[in-house]
Structure 1
């Protein structure tokens, strides 16, 4: 085989390989899977940021309430423990590939929401606390954060639903298996309306 023919054959193989790769990634859903995977990660990052924002408010909130209602030890301890439980779960991107860890994270955040709701019920008994400027500011921040959490969770739910449908349907399911894209855990939609309901912080 002459050098010219060899180079021509090699060039043809390269072009053929590139053409096949482009065809495969487009027709078999690789690009779609990759884009949706990134969207899920972005949505999850926003969920984590909003929950961290809430956790950062807890120490000041507890200290402010304690200044007026130190005798309410049980609920104050409950909130503090719930925050510690939340902090014990490493909310890294790897959580998205670990349904058990994801469930643990979700449970811890649910307990935090419940503890905050009970704290707000206690606050109702202390008019001076309700009129405290520091508490009013924290109350407004908490309410805004809880609303952002609800929005972030809904975005995550939607992005995961779309991603999971993509990786489960043919021919994308083949591509997903080849490249290691698995279905991702999602928040329970059955109780989502109740779970994402912000604690009652309006007085």
Structure 2
């Protein structure tokens, strides 16, 4: 029995190390899945805005004296924004940047529409309702982007710190890119009345 004691201790140590490695792997995998899940929430928020902007187009068409170029800008920006699809497993900085640019163009087109002075359009109750809903949608997008950045930071921390960094390299886990502010976002917008 004593001659097998060393073997049993060795097997026990190997089993503990294997369970520890499995636990680390599962933790990194759960964090990676959380990144994909939260990215889905970001897309849902952007999709809600794109869907609601379709309603805005119909509201604007109903207002008689409206500048058609602004409407065309909203329609074109909406179409481009809904064409870009990202997969939570393949969030490269380039793809996120293209997605952010398309969404920023849509937000800008809608923003211009909301701040310009069109008395006929401003008098339409459904347009005023849309303005309130739009603010809520933008807030939701900001919240979902913030949550996405939090889960990306958690995931990146898990794979960048010891011993996770050792196993991340072995199992092929790569750092994910979060949202970042667009160039010039640190400057206050120039609002003119």
1:143, CA displacement in angstroms?
A: 1.8
Q: After TM superposition, where is structure 1 displaced by more than 4 Å over at least 4 residues in a row?
A: 15-18, 189-195
1:148, CA displacement in angstroms?
A: 0.6
Distance 1:192 1:153 in 2: 18
8 Å contact 1:95–1:102 — kept in the other structure? no
Task: Summarize the Cα distance change of 1:69–1:21 in structure 2 as closer, same or farther, 3 Å threshold.
Answer: farther
Deviation sequence 1:14-39 (CA, Å, 0-9, x none):
x776433212234xx32332232222
Equivalent residue number for residue 22 of structure 1: 19
The equivalent position to 1:34 in structure 2, one of 29, 51, 56, is: 29
TM-score by length of 1: 0.76
Instruction: Note the aligned Cα RMSD (angstroms).
Output: 2.9
8 Å contact 2:114–2:131 — kept in the other structure? no
The equivalent position to 2:127 in structure 1, one of 135, 152, 155, is: 135
Equivalent residue number for residue 71 of structure 2: 76
Matched position secondary structure for 2:178:
coil
Aligned pairs, number: 182
8 Å contact 2:66–2:118 — kept in the other structure? no
TM-score by length of 2: 0.80
Equivalent residue number for residue 86 of structure 1: 81
Distance 1:70 1:104 in 2: 34
Q: What pairs with 1:174-185 in structure 2 (closer than 5 Å)?
A: 174-185=166-177
1:157 equivalenced with 2:152 (yes/no) = no
Structure 1 unmatched runs, 5+:
1-8
Deviation sequence 1:50-79 (CA, Å, 0-9, x none):
000000011210121232255412211111
Task: Summarize the Cα distance change of 1:192–1:160 in structure 2 as closer, same or farther, 3 Å threshold.
Answer: farther
Equivalent residue number for residue 179 of structure 2: 187
